[in-house]
Amino acid sequence: MSKPLILVSNDDGITSKGIRVLVSIMKKLGDVVVVAPDSPQSGMGHAITIGETLRLAEEDIFEGVTAYKSSGTPADCVKIAKHYVLKDRTPDLVVSGINHGSNTSISVLYSGTMSAAIEGALEGYPSIGFSLCDYSSKADFSHIEEWVEKIARQVLENGIAKGVALNVNFPPKQNEPIQGVKVCRQADAKWQEEFDERFDPTGRKYFWLAGNFVNFDKGEDNDEWAIANNYVSIVPCQYDLTAHHAISQMNKDWDWEKLK
């Protein structure tokens, strides 16, 4: 039997440590093709390149793996992989990461890592975004490698619902082993942002985005709780942003006569 075809991307760039770890794990599971940004694209969300050139170049960076670097965003990488790199081949799995830093809670909206995975789901491919809640460039990934492999195997063997991408976050390495896996919901949390006003050496004003992450969620069934308690969190995500519960409320409570 032929091996599964696995497309790998990320948002930290093709030379990041996280993608090297992810590629090495995916090579155990199937034939791997990499299409990733040529530079860091964190916080790009689901941006795509319009009105600018999009460049693609083959890169000999992973042993035994066909790899391309792109000037585009993570979503661009998955798109160009489908339409140009893979052509008539259909990936059995799209994986993105392993991100250096958390993508729990509201961060999923800003995450380039998850946007690559969600783009895969948009195309109908089983997709996973992996993130390690450690922002250090020297982050230790050794404690999560077996979990990445197990989760990817589960998706390859059992599948996931169509149009769904899994947002998988891992706690940083601790003295105790990871406690297990929690399939959970996105926590009710957000960034309380500030814009720090600064001046460059020429005296011109600029702003630097800062702030603190605040968790309002007291539940024990969300991704923030899971990470804080040394569990792997898995949140199934969808690209349909329709607030279905609001449709009935609007139809019931709005005065539609005034809108005629």
pLDDT tens for each residue of 93-143: 999 999 999 999 999 999 999 999 999 999 999 999 999 999 887 889 999
31 in a known ligand binding site: no
CB-based contact 20:65 (threshold 8 Å): no
E strand or H helix at 113: helix 112-122
Count CA atoms within 13 Å of residue 36 on its CB side: 36
**Residue percentage of the chain with pLDDT more than 90:** 88
Distance, in Å, from the CA atom of 86 to the CA atom of 243, rounded to the nearest integer, reads 35
Distance, in Å, from the CA atom of 239 to the CA atom of 14, rounded to the nearest integer, reads 25
Task: Please tell me the predicted confidence (pLDDT) of residue 1.
Answer: 58
Closest-CA residue to 62 (of 26, 23, 13, 100): 23
Report the Cα–Cα distance between both ends of the chain, in Å, rounded.
Answer: 62
Task: Please tell me the predicted confidence (pLDDT) of residue 115.
Answer: 97
Token readout for 189 is 């949390």
196 in a known ligand binding site: no
pTM of the predicted model over 0.85: yes
DSSP bridge pairs for 127: 94, 165
Res 259 pLDDT > 80: no
The 8-class DSSP code of residue 222 comes to B
Closest-CA residue to 122 (of 237, 248, 2): 237
Closest-CA residue to 120 (of 219, 239, 258, 247): 239
Closest-CA residue to 16 (of 75, 98, 104, 120): 98
Token readout for 92 is 């059995």
Please give the domain boundaries of the chain with CATH numbers for all domains.
5-188+219-259 (3.40.1210.10)
CB-based contact 62:34 (threshold 8 Å): yes
On average, the pLDDT of the chain sits at 94
Token readout for 41 is 């694209």
Residue with tokens 């050794």: 142
Res 160 pLDDT > 90: yes
92 in a known ligand binding site: no
- pLDDT tens across 37-79, in order? 999 988 888 999 999 999 999 999 999 999 999 999 999 999 9
99 in a known ligand binding site: yes
Token readout for 170 is 């891992």
- pLDDT tens across 170-194, in order? 999 999 999 999 999 999 999 888 9
Residue with tokens 């059992």: 158
- Strand order from edge to edge, sheet including 66-70: 56-58, 66-70, 31-37, 5-9, 93-100, 127-132, 164-170, 232-238, 181-183
Closest-CA residue to 231 (of 219, 241, 243, 221): 221
**2 pLDDT tier (thresholds 50, 70, 90):** confident
